[in-house]
Every structure is written in C-alpha cells, then in structure tokens.
Structure 1
Amino acid sequence: MVLIRSLILYIVVIFGVRLMGKRQLGELQPSELVITILISNIATLPLEDTSIPLILGILPILTLVCFEALMSWVTLKSLRMRRIISGRPKIVVRDGQIEQATMRDLRLSVDDLMTALRQQQVFDISQVQFAVMETTGTISVYLKAECQPLTPADITLKKTAQNPPVAVIQDGCVMNKSLAMLGKNQAWLEQKLAEHRLTEKQVFLMLSDAEGTCTIIPKKRGDAV
C-alpha cells in the first residue's frame, strides 16, 4: 500500500515540476523555491501517515502547481509584477569598488561575495568591472577589458574599457534607469527605433552600450500590441 502511494505521489510531483519548468535548484526564483519546498513537505504527509487519504496530498500539490503556472504567466506579461515577486538584479561591485550600501540592503557579507567571485575564478576584486546579484541569488561577473581572456578576435582588434550592454527596452517597456546609466535620453531612443521602423511596444528586447551600439529584437506579429 505504501509502495503504491509513493509511486503515485512520485508521478504527481514529477508532473508538477515539469509544469513549472526546467530550472536547476540554484536558478529558482523566490516564488518557485517556496512552491518547491511546500510541495516536498505536502508529499511526505500521506507517506508518513497512511490514514491520510491520498487525494489530500495530491490536490494541494496540483493547486500549488497551477498557482505557480498562473503567477509565471502574470510575471511574463507584467514587468511591475515581475519586479514585485522576483525583485531586480543589484550591482554589488562597480569598477572594482564594492557597493557597500547595496551589500547591506542584500545582507550579503564580504565573505559571501568573495566566495562567489572565487567560484568564477576571480580572486582580485579590482579586476571586476561589474558584479551583479541576480534575482536567483547567483552573482554574475563581468571583468575589465584588460583582464578578460584572450580570444582570436583580440589578435587584430584592440579592446577598450567598456561597460556591458544593458536592456533599454524589455517586452515593450522602456527602462529609464538604463537610459540614464548610458547617458542617453528619450529622443535618442526614438531615433534608434525610427531607424528600424519600430515603436516601443513592438520591441521584445533592446540592448545598448554607452557607444550607442544597439541590438533590437522585435516582437513576433502575434505578440505585438
């Protein structure tokens, strides 16, 4: 009896996890991590106590999975909800200098930061142009130009110190902070869009660097509004 209940719950949990996506544990958003923990706890109850009807374990699991699927759809369509539920990336190192106020806000210790940098083979913080705390809790590192690994293109092209491109438009929404970071304004943005005969709402993703070099990915016809 216990074996059958275990197999049924195993199938239900696997089905639920497949519906939620294929992220690894370290890449889960806060809401996804909470759902995963709740599902694991609920699934153990009918196994520990066989007097609990199996349906009382399956229904909450399916309910949570459906709720997570709904929230994923909402956050996909709404940038504001995505910011509220998942937060936003934070810069913790800028041009080799630690952003101490951001570290305090994130309750991130220097040891935690240095451990994350060492995991990416960075042992000297002065080599870091940008280190960003992602919403998943991982830290992404962008090295200064002179510290980046040599590539075949470097044999003929000299690297210049330059910050990485940032998202100027996401899913039709203008990132005003990104424009300010690049030293650009709305007029510049409208000019770039006009060159591609696009409006803000027709852009799925637009990346730009401080030099004004842009990468624009339009929305597909069915997604544009």
Structure 2
Amino acid sequence: MGKRQLAELQPSEFVVTILISNVATLPLEDVNIPLIGGAIPILLLVSFEVIVSFITLKSQKARKVVSGSPRVIIRDGVVDQQEMKNLRLSIDDLMAQLRSKDIFDISDVAFAIIETTGSLSVFQNFDARTITPKIMNIAQTSVNDNSPPVVVVTDGVVSPQSLQYLQKDVAWLKGILDTSNVSLKDTFMLTANRSGAYHLIRKER
C-alpha cells in the first residue's frame, strides 16, 4: 500500500483491509479453527493486494479500472451537476469540503477536482487567492495563467487528455524534451499549464 495514510486507501485496498480484519478474528472466535487456517487466507489476501498494487503502478489502464480517475466537478465557478450525481455527492458535502479549504463562495473556484481517494482539490481564481509575496510580484497576463498545471507525462507515458486540455500537440511536447535534452522514456514526470510553463523531472538511474 506504500506510505499513504489510511484515509487515502483505494477501494481495492479498503476491501482487502476489511477482509483481513474479518479473517483474522475467525480463529479467535472458533477454537476449532487452527491458527494456520486464518494465516493462510491472510497471506493470500496480502499477496493479492501486493500484485494488484504492482500492476496498477505499472499500468495506467489498470490504475483507472481499479482506482478510477479524478473528476472535475467545478469549472469557472459552475458546478457539474451530472458529475455530482454520478459521484453521489451532495451539495452539502461539496460545500463542507470547500469550507475546510477556507472557500465559502463557489464563484471563487476555477477548478475543483474529486481525487480517486475522495478528497477535494481546489484551484482558485486568480483574484480570489490569498495574497503572498509571490503573487504580489507576478501580474496575470492572460486567461491561460489561470489554468492549473496538469500531468502530461507519467513514467515515460504521454497523456493525450492532458495535451488536449492544454491545446498542445506532440510536436510541442517533443520541443520541450529536445530543449531539456531528455528522451520520453527517461522522463519521470512532466507538468504544464496552458500558458506553456512546465516542470520536468528526469528518471533517477
């Protein structure tokens, strides 16, 4: 499961955790069941979870099947009601999560995303963000400056959806890689926003 917090368990991890806790109590409740009878199913469940975690780590398709994908529920202050229905998320739950991030007005939200863990990530409008020295020294020059960065490359794999969101193409990506003198397979992660600003992390050897 890695070093993530318990609250960030994926659905498969949560199910395995519940099953392990139930199986572990069987030998304690029934003296006729030997300890080995509870240990073997636990080892099988742990092995299953390790295998699933490895597969989802290496495969984006498997990761989407097992964990789902992030869902955008607010765009430019407008709530996607259909997405909320799909997620079975009430407006009260949404507002509670926004308030926990000190946001009380939906119109202040540029993007709000429900992550696969169930947590809410929020990117505020430029004029609604908390003033910091960094913001005071930077003026917004275009609408694209208000777009959140997205992950374009993960472990050498390009995300077509991210390129579409950025309104960029493969040639643009190739130009960045050539400028950085790094190949696609040697790219651990590349994030970028619509204004063209990007951050590239090479794979460690």
TM-score range relative to shorter protein: over 0.9
Tell me what 1:194 maps to.
178
TM-score when scaled to structure 2? 0.92
Tell me what 1:182 maps to.
166
Amino acid at match of 1:176: P
TM-score when scaled to structure 1? 0.85
1:107 matched to 2:93? The reply is no
1:162 matched to 2:146? The reply is yes
Q: How does 1:139-158 map to 2 (within 5 A)?
A: 139-158=120-139
Deviation string 1:58-102 (CA, Å, 9 cap, x unpaired) is 111121111111111111111111111111101011111101221
Amino acid at match of 1:103: M
1:204 matched to 2:200? The reply is no
Tell me what 2:202 maps to.
218
Count residues in correspondence: 202
- Structure 1 gaps, min length 5: 1-19
Deviation string 1:171-200 (CA, Å, 9 cap, x unpaired) is 111111111111111111111111112222
SS at match of 1:200: coil
- Structure 2 gaps, min length 5: none
Tell me what 1:61 maps to.
42
Amino acid at match of 1:194: D
The percent identity for this pair of structures is 49
Give the C-alpha shift of residue 155 in structure 1. Answer: 3.3
1:72 matched to 2:16? The reply is no
SS at match of 2:168: coil
Tell me what 1:28 maps to.
9
SS at match of 2:24: helix
Amino acid at match of 1:138: S
Give the C-alpha shift of residue 107 in structure 1. Answer: 2.0
Q: CA RMSD in A?
A: 1.5
